[in-house]
Amino acid sequence: MIIPVRCMSCGKPVGHLWEEFKERRRDEDPKEVLDELGLDRYCCRSLFLTHTDLTGKVSKFKK
């Protein structure tokens, strides 16, 4: 759905990093991008690596 504003496990604010991660992971190694964004904990890293952005699909069903 939409990336959470904070990591659900540790509470670190991560929502503002999603757009940059999405753009850069096309060309770069995701590990390098996560390191440079300062996401050190594995809870935050797994959140970014496993997130699927469904905003476009869900918005078709808006009332």
- The site for Zn ion (CB under 5 A) is made up of 7, 9-10, 41, 43-44
Shortest Cβ 10–Zn ion spacing (Å): 3
Shortest Cβ 63–Zn ion spacing (Å): 34
Residue nearest to Zn ion (CB): 7
Shortest Cβ 38–Zn ion spacing (Å): 11
Q: Which of 61, 59, 33, 60 is nearest to 48 (CA)?
A: 33
Q: Are 2 and 51 in contact (CB under 8 A)?
A: no
CA–CA distance, 54 with 1 (Å, rounded to integer)? 5
